Structures are given as C-alpha cells and as structure tokens.
Chain A
Amino acid sequence: SQQGEEDPQALSIQEGENATMNCSYKTSINNLQWYRQNSGRGLVHLILIRSNEREKHSGRLRVTLDTSKKSSSLLITASRAADTASYFCATDAEGGKLIFGQGTELSVKP
C-alpha cells in the first residue's frame, strides 16, 4: 500500500500564480522528498526535507513538513509554463527504498 496521498490530483493555474501541492503520509519518516516528472520522462529529484526540519527553500520551491500531522506541502512560486509536470512526494523506507504518492498533475497556462 502506498504511504503518501497527494492533494489535489490535478491543478490548473495561470503563469505567475503560485501552485501548492499537499502530501500526507502514514508512518514515521526520516525524510520526505519531492520529485518532478515531465510527460514521458523519468522522475527528477527536486528537494528533500528531513524529519527535524520544518521548512526548506530551493529557488522558487518551498517545502514544509509537519510531522505531528504527517503532512508536507510543496509551493512553487511565480509559476511558469515550463513547470507543467507531475509532482510526487516520496517517503523513505528501510534499504534506501522510497514510497511514492500518487502525484499531482500541474498545468500552468501561459
């Protein structure tokens, strides 16, 4: 069974707007990661936040983590058409494994 549940499943916004995606998980974690997938391509790692961190930034990305609620959010600020992709959260498991959520499909319209 999957660890992460993502919300919304699909999101459509205009260029310049902010996009927020949420991820909830079930068990305790050491870290939570976000990946991006362009259509027809493999996943690409975006950002990792550890369980003792509450917020992390990388360029236009902001990730928050609330371990008490077992949830995380990914904010993309000032979105661009090139941000159109699917975004997945993933939590760590033993053996270096990752457990992925179902993903949020983001469409940014010019």
Chain B
Amino acid sequence: DAGITQSPRHKVTETGTPVTLRCHQTENHRYMYWYRQDPGHGLRLIHYSYGVKDTDKGEVSDGYSVSRSKTEDFLLTLESATSSQTSVYFCAIHLQGTDTQYFGPGTRLTVL
C-alpha cells in the first residue's frame, strides 16, 4: 500500500473562491501527479512534480497552480474557482522502480 490520502474528499464551493486540495503520501516517492476526471474525457494531467519545489504543467494547467514544499505533500490550488472546474480530482504517485502509478481516492469538487 503506497499510502496516499487526499483531502478534502468532497467540497462544494462558489465561483470565485480559492480552493486548495491536498495530496499526502507516506513513502517518499519522488514523482507526484494531479489529474482531473470528467465524463467523456478520461483522466487529464493538470500538473506534476518531480521533487521538492520542482513542478511542471500538464495538459490542462490553466486556472491551476501547485506547490510542493515537502516530499510528502503536493497541493493543488484553484485561485478563483469556476464552474468548469467542477470535477473529480485524483492525485497519483509514480511507484519507484516501476513504470506504474498508484492513485489516491479522489476529491469530488463542485463549483456553484
């Protein structure tokens, strides 16, 4: 068990408010990823990190920022949430020594 938790698991917010989602891992994995999942689109990569303070953009990064000040935590921030950011957000880690990823349980975000 790679030990990933996401918080909160559910959140309802209003348009224009800032939102921060947290991904926490317990096993010191270097690479971490944030995806969003929407019907008809599968999973799309938002941002990823390859180490503390090392992050890069993914396919759908507009409107999102990330931070990684500690190995175990990868934060995803929506500076000013919009209804188009209503989605399920998944964090994942790259399992060292493999080519596979391990996923967290997801956060369901609704922006009204």
The answer, among B42, B58, B92, B102, for a CB contact under 8 Å with A102, is: B42
> Smallest Cβ distance from B19 to chain A, in angstroms?
20
The answer, among A2, A40, A92, for a CB contact under 8 Å with B44, is: A2
CB-based nearest A residue for B58: A97
**Band of interface residues on A:** 20 to 34
**Chain B 91-112 interface residues, beta-carbon cutoff 8 Å to A:** 92, 94, 99-106
Residues in chain B near residue A41, CB distance under 8 A: 105-106
Residues in chain A near residue B56, CB distance under 8 A: 95
Residues in chain A near residue B90, CB distance under 8 A: 42-43
* Bound Cα distance from A41 to B99, whole angstroms: 21
The answer, among A1, A33, A40, A103, for a CB contact under 8 Å with B99, is: A33
| Chain B proximity mask over A44-81: 1 for CB below 8 Å, otherwise 0 | 11001000000000000000000000000000000000
CB-based nearest A residue for B30: A96
CB-based nearest B residue for A30: B99
A88 interfacial contact with B, CB 8 Å:
yes
Residues of A at the B interface (CB closer than 8 Å) are: 1-2, 4, 30-31, 33, 40-45, 48, 88, 92, 95-103
